[in-house]
A and B are shown apart, each in its own frame.
Chain A
Amino acid sequence: MTGPHEVDARQLRARYPDIFDRPASARLAMPAMIFAAFAILIYGLVDLDFSPSRFVAGLSQLGWISLMMIPPDPGSSLPIYLKALGETLSIALLGTTLAAVFALPVSLLAARNVVPSSLLRFPVRRVLDSIRGVDTLIWALVWINVVGLGPFAGVLAIAVSDFGAFGKLFSEAIESADQKQVEGIRASGGSPLHEIRFGLLPQVLPVIAGQVLYFIESNTRSATIIGIVGAGGIGLQLAEQIRVLEWQKVSFLILMILIAVAAIDFVSGKLRFAIIGRRAVA
Chain B
Amino acid sequence: MTTAVSILPEQQLAVLNAAYRRAVGRKRLRLLLELVIFAAALLLAAIGAEVNLRTLFTHFGNFFSYFDRILTLDTGQRVWTDVGEWLWGWRKWLKMLGETLLISYVGTLIGATLAFCLNFFAAENTSPAPWLRFTVRRLLEFARTVPGIVFALIFVIAFGLGPMAGVLAIAIHSTGALGKLFSEIVENADMKPVEGIRSTGASWLSCMRFAVVPQVTAGYASYALLRFEINVREASVMGFVGAGGIGQELVVAIRKFYYSDVSAILLTIIITVFIIDITTGWLRGRLFGGEART
Which residues of A approach B to under 8 Å, CB–CB? Answer: 37, 40-41, 43-45, 47-50, 54-55, 57-59, 61-62, 65, 86-87, 89-91, 93-94, 97, 129-130, 133-135, 137-138, 141-143, 145-148, 150-152, 154-156, 221-222, 224-225, 228-229, 232, 235, 238-239, 242, 245, 250, 254, 257-258, 261-262
Contact = CB atoms under 8 A, between A and B. Distances in A.
A152 B50 contact: yes
B229 to A, nearest CB: 11
A109 to B, nearest CB: 20
Secondary structure at the B interface, as helix, strand, loop or mixed, is helix
A29 to B, nearest CB: 10
Contacts of B251: 141, 229
Contact of B106 (A45, A58, A138): A45
Contacts of A87: 48-50
B49 A154 contact: yes
Interface in B62-102: 62-63, 66, 99, 102
A58 B155 contact: yes
26 contacts: A43-B102, A44-B103, A45-B106, A47-B102, A48-B103, A48-B244, A54-B164, A58-B155, A58-B160, A59-B158, A87-B50, A90-B45, A97-B42, A133-B269, A137-B240, A142-B254, A145-B62, A145-B254, A146-B66, A147-B62, A221-B147, A225-B150, A228-B149, A242-B154, A254-B150, A258-B145
Contact of A228 (B48, B105, B240): B240
Contacts of B16: none
B49 A94 contact: yes
B266 interface: yes
Nearest to A40: B105
A134 B265 CA distance: 11
Interface of B: 41-42, 44-52, 55-56, 59-60, 62-63, 66, 99, 102-103, 105-106, 109, 142, 145-147, 149-150, 153-155, 157-160, 162-164, 167, 233-234, 236-237, 240-241, 244, 250-251, 254, 266, 269-270, 273-274
Contacts of B274: 129, 133
B14 to A, nearest CB: 27
Given A141-B251, A147-B56, A61 B106 contact: no
A192 B117 CA distance: 55
A145 B250 CA distance: 14
Secondary structure at the A interface, as helix, strand, loop or mixed, is helix
A224 B106 contact: no
B45 A224 contact: no
Contacts of A61: 157-159
A48 B160 contact: no
Nearest to A136: B237
Contact of A150 (B46, B50, B62, B269): B50
A239 B153 contact: yes
Nearest to A45: B106
Given A54-B159, A134-B266, A225-B147, A48 B164 contact: yes
A89 B45 CA distance: 8
A134 B50 contact: no
Q: Which residue, of A41, A90, A97, has the highest number of chain B Cβ atoms within 10 A? A: A90
A48 B106 contact: yes
A82 to B, nearest CB: 11
Given A133-B269, A138-B266, A258-B145, A94 B51 contact: yes
A90 B147 contact: no
Q: Which 7 residue pairs across A and B have the least CB separation, nearest first?
A: A90-B48, A58-B159, A90-B45, A90-B49, A44-B106, A133-B270, A61-B158
Nearest to B67: A142
Given A50-B164, A262-B145, 20 more contacts: A40-B105, A58-B158, A58-B164, A87-B50, A89-B45, A90-B49, A91-B45, A133-B269, A135-B234, A146-B66, A147-B56, A147-B62, A148-B59, A221-B145, A222-B147, A224-B150, A228-B153, A239-B153, A242-B157, A250-B154
